[in-house]
Amino acid sequence: MDYFLEADHYQICKQGYLACGDSFYSTKVDDGIICVLADGLGSGIKASVLATLTTTMAAGFMASKMDIKHAAEIILETLPVCSYRNIGYSTFTIIEAKHDGHVRIIEHDNPPYALIRDQQIMKVEKQEIPIKTFRKSNLYYSEIKLVPEDRIVYYSDGVTQCGMGLPYFPLGWQEKGVENYLLSMLKANRSISAREITKSVARKAREYDSNSAADDITCAALYLRNPRRTLLLTGPPYKKEHDAVLAQIATDFVGRKIICGGTTSAILSRELNIPVKVNLNEVRKGGEIPPTADMEGFDLVTEGTITLSRALRALEEDASLEAMPDNAVKRLILILLDSDIIEFVVGTKINEAHQDPALPKDLEIRRNLMKQFVRVLEKKHLKTTRVLFV
């Protein structure tokens, strides 16, 4: 059985800088994903360019099926070396992970990753690879087989060195401190997502820096698990006799369920004999986003086009969820980001309010929205999506 690999990261720039000297890149391949975390020497634009060069080179090599060890050696030979310190201008961690749990990792001068299994930090055997080039550095290779609920957490030295010099952390948070914090999070929530882990670790590191990041802070995580499934239903079916089919799809689905659209919720309410109750407190608050509704058996019920369009824009722009008001858009995004496999069931009946009869049918707003959702969820957030038109 293939499991789902959730990969995510969270980044905080060094205080006073707009460009982050760390770079994270992830991409889906046929049988898994590739993740690269690089830390450029220094801070600001120069470090950002070097780190980004490293992540894009590594991801390109790995996607072309180059051996991970050979890829690391080429990167080391390509990157410039600091003449003063005699060290490479960028450190990196490259992870090649398969959906069956087989993972290969190359580390170059980043803090070592943590493998967490059954709420314990597992010891991993690593092979040191001799470096042909003349420099002070280490290159380590490891190969592991993940089992469901395993997590790999890796980070830049902005995490391990946070708080350095302060009375409670004279040498910084260090690896042991980070690992203890990871275990405490898992003890509190065994199913915590990679997204929540990375955000919590990065923010805790900034907190130890007196809420003023002394270095670029990046935490990334990989989580192997049974997939979390979500069904999103939007739009009425092309034929009225297919309303019962829509209702049956919703009934049979196992996972979280979302309805986007007033007409869609009315159809399902009628077919399933479940009342829809609009949240009047949201109506009283006003705002430009239409209110949500409650419907038994569904996790979220929202208006259609406006809510979907705003959610899509926020996902494309990497909008800060913390800064967003608690409305339908934010709740929709939170469910989508916490899901692994998202199935869209899209009604194809033309809504005269949204459709110019002079336009080709393919330009119908609802269909275009779903195509864009699939693109951003697949490419930017590594989700698996499926679309069914009815």
Nearest to 264, CA basis, from 291, 279, 285, 242 = 242
Under DSSP, the state recorded for 166 is: B
Residue 39 · residue 75 · CB < 8 Å: no
Residue in the structure block whose two tokens are 């994270």: 24
Question: Looking at residue 135, what is its pLDDT?
Answer: 55
pLDDT exceeds cutoff 90 at 123: yes
The whole-angstrom separation of Cα 207 and Cα 2 is: 38
Residue 374 · residue 387 · CB < 8 Å: yes
Instruction: Calculate the alpha carbon distances from 183 to 54, 95, 122, 157, 204 in Å.
Output: 31, 22, 12, 19, 14
Question: What's the length of the chain?
Answer: 390
- Those residues with Cβ within 8 angstroms of residue 120's Cβ, 6 or more apart along the chain or in another chain: 183
pLDDT exceeds cutoff 50 at 215: yes
**Exposure pattern of 192-212 as b/e (b: 16+ CB <10 Å)?**
bbbbbbbbbbbbbbbebbeee
Which two three-digit tokens encode residue 360? 């080709």
Nearest to 308, CA basis, from 323, 287, 292, 328 = 328
Q: Does residue 22 or residue 364 have the better pLDDT?
A: 22
Question: Looking at residue 168, what is its pLDDT?
Answer: 82
pLDDT exceeds cutoff 90 at 387: yes
Q: Does residue 80 or residue 362 have the better pLDDT?
A: 80
Which two three-digit tokens encode residue 31? 């049988």
Residue in the structure block whose two tokens are 């050979």: 70
pLDDT band at 359 (very low <50, low <70, confident <90, very high): very low
Nearest to 92, CA basis, from 56, 173, 38 = 38
**Average pLDDT of span 124-137:** 75
pLDDT exceeds cutoff 90 at 358: no
Q: What is the mean pLDDT of the chain?
A: 89
pTM of the model: 0.85
Instruction: Calculate the alpha carbon distances from 67 to 64, 70, 162, 166, 348 in Å.
Output: 9, 5, 34, 43, 46
The whole-angstrom separation of Cα 183 and Cα 172 is: 19
pLDDT band at 162 (very low <50, low <70, confident <90, very high): very high
List, in order of start, the domains of the chain with CATH numbers. 4-222 (3.60.40.10), 229-389 (no CATH)
For the chain, percent of residues with pLDDT exceeding 70:
91
The whole-angstrom separation of Cα 144 and Cα 4 is: 16
Per residue in 1-41, pLDDT (tens digit) is 568 999 999 999 999 999 999 999 999 888 889 999 999 88
pLDDT band at 363 (very low <50, low <70, confident <90, very high): very low
Which two three-digit tokens encode residue 167? 């009375």
pLDDT exceeds cutoff 90 at 114: yes
Under DSSP, the state recorded for 76 is: H
Residue 289 · residue 349 · CB < 8 Å: no
Question: Looking at residue 227, what is its pLDDT?
Answer: 92
pLDDT band at 151 (very low <50, low <70, confident <90, very high): very high
Question: Which has the minimum average pLDDT: 80-84, 226-230, 301-305, 380-384?
Answer: 80-84
pLDDT exceeds cutoff 90 at 206: yes
**Average pLDDT of span 258-263:** 94
**Average pLDDT of span 319-333:** 91
Per residue in 274-324, pLDDT (tens digit) is 999 999 888 777 678 899 999 999 999 999 889 999 999 999 998 888 889
Question: Looking at residue 138, what is its pLDDT?
Answer: 74
Q: Calculate Rg over the CA atoms of the chain.
A: 24
